[in-house]
Chain A
Amino acid sequence: MSESGFWTRGLFLGFLFCLLLVTDVAWGSISIPLGTVLSSLFSPESSTFSDIIWQFRLPKAITCILAGSALATGGLMMQSLFRNPLAGPDVLGLSSGASLAVAIVILIGQTAGVGSVLMGNWSVATAASLGGSIVLLIVIFISRFIKDNTSLLIIGLMISAATSSLVGILQFLSKAEDLQIFLIWSLGSVGSTHWGEVQVLAIITFIGLAIAFFLQKPLNAWLLGENYATNLGINTSRSRFWIVIATALLTGGVTAFCGPIAFVGLAVPHLVRLFIPTTNHKILLPFVMVTGASLLLFCDMVSNLAGGAQVLPLNAITSLIGAPLVISMVISNKQVRV
């Protein structure tokens, strides 16, 4: 495709993103007129609407943007590193590690009677980060002894399987009400973040995205496989290390504050590749970031609107919207390629 083709589609995507951002802030259990949304964004005088916007809607929308772009970028990096269209940001086992840590905090913490102390957002986020980091350290430690990416992929999947079964055991032994708290966390949510958490998530995400952006050359080279990448002067073990670190930051940060959000990381890179047929990460990365943010904004809107007063779980919506979208695009394009 020509340069101008990329620009046209980029502008279209940018416009779509802005539209989704504004409507996501405006729509919810209480609808706010678009004019009020815009005016309270630029002149923050206190009113009911502007309180809703500044205290609730805006942090939620920004969380959507951060989480969407982080997960999509993580998914893109994993698919390119492993040259596997089925890879997502969770293949390294990070989300499973985070889930296990959160399960321990919620399920065992409650039973031990310290639940009320531990139930805050920050303690769940801390637990999730710790769990994810421990898995990351294990993956990096093991990756020093293995030579190829497929082994890394298998190890990630095995860690996922092992931690998931531990979570299963914990769930089996827990009380019903604790189980429900954990279940709600595991369905993902962008609605429970406040400005302090958004700030931390933003810092983590920006670092991860910046690393990803600096990795565009090795990411492109990995598409040809390790031998060609080496011959093209890429330091394969160093770039693999940084790709893993960036993905871990992006996935770990999101999982800590929003729970394990499924599907976005797997689906968005495919959607982008069908929308703009390129394999160049210089173009793919920005498109994937904006598309990830847009998709999550859209899913958040649907989860707020579809259930009436009730907010539907985000994970259900991401998969319900994403799966048919990807299936229809795949059918019309015949084949999915990394």
Chain B
Amino acid sequence: MITSHQLAVGYNSNGDESVLLEDLNLHLREGELVCFMGPNGIGKSTLLRTLAGLQKPLRGELTGIENGKLSLVLTDRITATNMLVYDLVAYGRYPHLSWNISLREEDHRIIEEAIALTQIGHLKNKRLYQLSDGQMQLVMIARALAQQTPVMLLDEPTAHLDLNNRVEIMNLLRKLARQERKAILVCTHELDLALQTADWIWLATLNKKVVSGIPEDLVLNGAFDEVFQFKGFDLKTGKVEHEAHRNKPIRLIGKGYPYLWTKNALERCGYEVTADAETVIKIQTEQTTTWQLQDLTLNSVADLLVSLAKR
């Protein structure tokens, strides 16, 4: 749908050119959710603004961008907070309305559809100042949907939201890509969510390029590690690395979630969990979960940690 050929983006003020990203050969296809990732200040928003036609590319070509083909959700704040939610969603119809902005039957139907897709029906008659940040983002997405464009570009739609809202919005975007066959590009810092929801990842690298691929390939070939230079986070296991500073190896016997979270607690507290160690902890999962440390039977992970520390 959108293809870039040797595109360079950045700023040009009075002949003083600063290139942020260059040699970009990217594709945004219908029915796909693309997450655009990279450290702060690397030029993600600038590329998004260029794709949206809000600023001119420095060099290169962009094809597939025509008027009225794109809708946007930006980080710009809406200051007119007295506005009704319905009226804000109705803005999506503006490209199709004449000077006197009369909404036709058809427009009301499309607005209601967008409201239904984003499940904000209960907010319709609220004013913007009454909304939470998460609800506001859903309303902005509904407004973009009401534009009925084949392409949607979103700049950090999940910033400042709690986990539940972040998951809700990413799931919604994936649903829209699948069901409505839209091409959706999202700038985001949500690494874990992006890896689990994106069909495709664009990764802005430190040498002004953008690497693209499916999430799993970029994890395995180390592209993420190179860009983010993780400090104490192992992307391949998805866990924070712990130093086994207590120098006490422990053998843990058990299964399922109790095993997983007991291991988590032990590693977090500086124990090394290995298959061949003298200290043995057995997890019993009959009726209630108990932990057996030699002759002791403990009822919680906290008790287990206390007993371990005393030894």
Contacts and interface: CB of A to CB of B under 8 A. Distances in A.
B80 A83 contact: yes
A273 B52 CA distance: 33
Given A83-B80, A217-B94, A279-B82, A231 B101 contact: no
B100 A279 contact: no
Given A227-B72, A227-B76, A233-B68, A337 B82 contact: yes
B80 A337 contact: yes
Contact of A230 (B54, B71, B79, B129): B54
A337 B92 CA distance: 22
A338 interface: yes
B134 to A, nearest CB: 20
B71 A277 contact: no
B129 to A, nearest CB: 7
A280 interface: yes
Interface residues of A, number: 25
A223 B80 contact: yes
Given A224-B91, A337-B129, A217 B80 contact: no
Contact of B72 (A216, A231, A337): A231
A227 B127 CA distance: 22
Contact of A223 (B53, B67, B83): B83
Given A216-B100, A217-B97, A234-B94, A280 B87 contact: yes
Contacts of B257: none
A282 interface: yes
B110 interface: no
Most buried by A among B84, B91, B92: B91
B189 to A, nearest CB: 21
B240 interface: no
Interface string A33-63: 0000000000000000000000000000000
Given A214-B99, A216-B101, A217-B99, A228 B82 contact: no
A223 B143 CA distance: 14
A282 B87 CA distance: 12
Contact of A231 (B70, B98, B100, B129): B70
Contact of B80 (A214, A227, A335, A338): A338
Contacts of B15: none
Nearest to B94: A232
A231 B71 contact: yes
A35 B91 CA distance: 50
B136 to A, nearest CB: 13
A282 B80 contact: no
Given A233-B95, A234-B94, A228 B74 contact: yes
Interface residues of B, number: 31
B78 interface: yes
A14 interface: no
Contacts of A280: 87, 101
Interface in B24-73: 49, 52-54, 67-68, 70-72
A224 B91 CA distance: 9
A228 B70 CA distance: 11
Which of A220, A221, A273, A282 gathers the greatest number of chain B CB atoms within 10 Å?
A220
B279 interface: no
A115 interface: no
B76 A228 contact: yes
B76 A225 contact: yes
Contacts of A217: 94, 97-101
Nearest to B73: A228
A277 B129 CA distance: 13
A12 B171 CA distance: 49
A214 B99 CA distance: 6
A282 B90 CA distance: 14
A284 to B, nearest CB: 11
B300 interface: no
Contacts of B12: none
Nearest to B76: A225
Contacts of B54: 227, 230-231
B95 to A, nearest CB: 4
A227 B91 CA distance: 13
A191 B98 CA distance: 41
Contacts of A277: 82, 127
B94 A233 contact: yes
B285 interface: no
A278 B98 CA distance: 20
Interface string B166-207: 000000000000000000000000000000000000000000
Contacts of A273: 82
A195 to B, nearest CB: 34
Contacts of A228: 72, 74, 76, 91
A329 to B, nearest CB: 13
Q: Ordered nearest first, which 10 A-B pairs have the shortest CB separation?
A: A233-B95, A232-B94, A337-B82, A223-B80, A279-B83, A231-B72, A83-B79, A279-B80, A225-B76, A217-B101
Given A217-B97, A224-B91, A337-B80, 5 more contacts: A83-B80, A217-B100, A231-B72, A233-B67, A282-B101
Interface of A: 83, 214, 216-217, 220-221, 223-225, 227-228, 230-234, 273, 277-280, 282, 335, 337-338
10 contacts: A217-B99, A221-B94, A227-B74, A231-B52, A232-B91, A233-B95, A277-B82, A278-B87, A337-B79, A338-B79
